[in-house]
Amino acid sequence: MKIKVEPIKVNYYPEVCELCGGKVIITSKEDISGKCYCCVNCGAYAKTYMEEPDKAMTILSTEEMHSLRKKCCSLFRSIWKNAKDSKRVRKCLYGWLADKLKLDCSDCTFSFLNLEQLKSVEKTLLEVRWRTPVFDRNRRLYFR
């Protein structure tokens, strides 16, 4: 079964919330260092870069999306870190995932994935979590 996902539109400078259409302002949040974009309507937020305080690091995200993204990142890390050829696996894992999820490789960073896409990433990573990443004759990554 193929997972269908929408193409990603990356907007580093959001003015309107992708989730609810609410107005987005740059502000600071108590529990976050630096600035963040925040939707005045639904409270979704995106941290910005320290060195570029008006550039968003992620899409506007709910708490659910932020925590799911964290979970995906740690699953992703645990897969390549536990691999025998970890550096090589790390390099190829994004491409593998992008291919699985039918995303452009360049888009396949977790920061700009929406909730549905993050759920697909989580599901895909959980499926291969305890399997062994290996390379075939064409140097393509797969899981045994």
- Residue 41 as a binder of Zn ion (CB under 5 A): the answer is yes
Q: How many residues does the chain have?
A: 144
Query: Please, are residues 73 and 110 in contact by the beta-carbon 8 Å criterion?
Result: yes
Is residue 83 near Zn ion by the rule CB under 5 A? no
Which SS3 state, helix, strand or coil, does residue 23 take?
strand
What span, in angstroms and rounded, lies between the C-alpha atoms of 89 and 7?
25
By CB under 5 A, tell whether 20 contacts Zn ion: yes
Q: Which residue spans within 2-70 are E strands per DSSP? A: 24-28, 35-39, 45-47
**Upper half-sphere CA count for residue 116 (Cβ side, 13 Å):** 8
- Residue 23 vs 91, nearer CB to Zn ion: 23
The window from 9-17, 86-94, 103-111, 134-142 that contacts Zn ion (CB under 5 A) reads 9-17
> With binding defined as CB under 5 A, does residue 39 bind Zn ion?
yes
Residue 46 interacting with Zn ion (CB under 5 A): no
CB of 16 to Zn ion, least distance (A): 9
Closest approach of Zn ion to the CB of residue 15, in Å: 12
Is residue 89 a contact residue for Zn ion (CB under 5 A)?
A: no
- The tokens for 41 are 């309507």
What are the residues binding Zn ion (CB under 5 A)?
A: 17, 19-20, 22, 39, 41-42, 44
